[in-house]
Amino acid sequence: MRLFFAIATLTAALAQQSDVVFRTTTKLVVVDVFVRDKDGKDILNLSKDDFTILENGKAQTVSIFEVQRLDTEAPPAPVAAATPAPKPDEPARPKTITTAAEGKIQYRDRRLMVLFFDMSSMPPADQIRAEKSALKFVDEQMKPADVVAVMSFATNLKVEQDFTDNRDLLKQAIKGMKIGDGSDLATEAGTGDDESEDTGAAFEADESEFNVFNTDRKLFALESAAKMLANLPEKKAFVYFSSGVGKTGMENQSQLRSTVNAAVRANISFYPVDARGLTALVPGGDASQAASRGSGLFSGQSQRRQQSRFQDQQETLVSLASDTGGKAFLDNNDLSLGIQQAQNDIRSYYILGYYSTNPASDGRFRRLQVRLNNKQLQAKLDYRSGYFAPKDFNKFNNSDKEQQLEEALSLGDPVTDLPVALEVNYFRLAKDRYFVPIAVKIPGSEVVLAKKRGGDATELDFIGQVRDSKGRLAGTVRDGIEVKLTAADAEKLEKRNFQYDTGFTLSPGAYRLKFLARENQNGKIGTFETTFTVPDLSTPTEKLRVSSLVLANQRESIKSAVGGATNNRKQLASNPLVDKEQKLIPSITRVFRKNQSLYVYLEVYDAAPNIFSAVSFFRGKTKAFETAPAMVTEALAKRPGVYPVQFELPLEKLVAGKYTCQLTLIDEVGKRFAFPRGSIIVLP
């Protein structure tokens, strides 16, 4: 198995989130506690001596005690601008979230609220609706205790405005966001089945791989925002404007749980607001989309899938809210009420802080209990249930490291400190045997380098399991790779990715893959889970039998790999993506730049020679570009009956935007055809 440098193509696809630098402390534990009587009224006359904090059953000494009194009659002091305005000749610096020193309350008697606009999930109409509701809240509904920050996510995470009570600055930040930015990613892609929208094309694109990555980006942006806010001990209400986040099966569960965990650690409650408002679903779709292409409209299957897809998008919003103590605001056209809901939920509370007596840096969960010493006082306490201890990876020995990976692989709650993207393909080797290559991408910005023998180096560990539909182990992989970089490559690491590849030989069937990657300088682990199906191409069919469609943006020499776990040339020879010592590097994110070339690769099985092939690019229903037709006449020398179809296409003539790439294949002798499709995004 080998590790290659992959060209970074999307500024914030997975490698970058923001220019913001944030730091958190692992010694001080902060707990926000809401204390209310039986009538639901706040109890604010308690002192430090009235509380007892237990960590895993052991009493802790309360070192920090503050009362946050919100909505009192006396107006709080104004919040000074955190970032001074740049001078006329000075370039504007990126806005950041400012944080105070450890244990210091920066916003005393203030309610902290974040307005987060997920532009990548909202079409322009919903973006306008969200902007108007935010402006309405700032103009008419902000209270003296409120301080508000504005953040957005289109192609990268941006802090539009740090916490402030200055209404003019907030309105300027909200109005400054560009309507339509990121909206190309707002529409959920199809799955290429018979019930999809009939656009007039012969076949629809299967964009499920693109959907998995797109959803993970949204959730990872929320996790990054939570980490930025983690050093503020105050309770934060995070208002998330979105048009729903649709998950693709179980593939996004790892990132969803990681996002929730980061929010809980940062004392954040999510308040998602569905920017679509009250939506009436027209059976079969309204005038904005074409009718169903199959028989589902007549059987009711299309309507059920339509309703299920809509509910799944809202279910993600509900999960974010319920798992962090917030509330989702759905099916209402007055979106400002969703912001008020978050505003009303955060009332006066206590901030308790202590230094844990448990020095172990084992990464285990520690349960918290907060009690009132006056047992006669009937009150309800609301606080987080616990936290994960820090991990000192440098003190792990080889046995500890191996045990950590094995435990992480078996955990129901996956570890996702390291962002990981993954793609699965399949190629037929024999009638009952298929090679399934796995491509894994890790952002270079997340990898820490160490000086070693005069150069820069790091180590990466990989472990994965494939199980069949009955839960039986079908394949495993375990690799450790030492990465050595030149000084020039180390300087470019922030803008490049590591791409690791491995593979399994499997029979046709349904499978589940769980894959982990660990960076061995600081011990960060990333997890990716997915299900996939290897089809049985030996069954009779009227369609042309083809492999997966691979879209790539580079070829690399096997010798140019920055690290490798094996030199098994027989294994390399069985990989269809390796040809003449050159390896095709799949573009997992399906994002390209105009100065790059698009490599298209696919295999055709059991066909006659002279297969007609061509590549087309569609924007909606419009054909933007089509290659000249090519005839595939020669089968692979070592694999009789297998015809490789490959194109190399410069993208300089395409306008930036989202495209559907279609490979047209026609076997004129056998009277069979195929139109495999995939979505790509072309950046300037």
Q: What DSSP letter does each residue of 379-430 carry, written as one string?
A: -EEE---EEEPPB-GGG--HHHHHHHHHHHHH-SS---SS--EEEE--EEEE
Q: What is the pLDDT of residue 316?
A: 85
Burial class (CB in 10 A: 0-12, 13-18, 19+), 82: middle
Q: What is the pLDDT of residue 200?
A: 41
Structure token digits, residue 477: 């992989």
Q: Tell me, what DSSP letter sits at residue 133?
A: H
Give the β-pairing of 268-274 and 236-242. Answer: parallel
Domains of the chain: 1-21+396-549+562-567 (2.60.40.150), 27-69+350-389 (no CATH), 107-347 (3.40.50.410), 590-684 (2.70.50.30)
Structure token digits, residue 303: 């309507």
Tokens 């791409």 appear where?
499
Are 370 and 58 in contact, with CB atoms under 8 Å apart?
no
Q: What is the pLDDT of residue 684?
A: 85
Structure token digits, residue 627: 């290659």
Q: What is the mean pLDDT of each run of 10 residues along the chain (684 residues)?
A: 64 43 60 89 91 94 90 61 53 69 79 93 90 94 92 88 93 91 60 44 41 71 89 91 72 73 88 86 58 56 69 84 90 89 89 88 82 88 80 72 79 75 92 92 84 76 92 92 83 83 93 91 86 91 92 85 60 78 87 92 92 92 90 90 94 90 91 91 88
Q: What is the pLDDT of residue 259?
A: 86
Closest listed residue to residue 522, CA positions, set 394, 359, 661, 350: 394
Give the β-pairing of 657-667 and 642-650. Answer: unpaired
Per residue, the 3-state secondary structure of 602-646, as one string, reads EEEECCCCCEEEEEEEEECCEEEEECCCEEECCCECCECCEEEEE
Q: What is the pLDDT of residue 133?
A: 94
Q: What is the pLDDT of residue 350?
A: 92
φ, ψ of residue 210 in degrees (nearest 5): -65, -40
CA-atom Rg of the chain in angstroms: 27
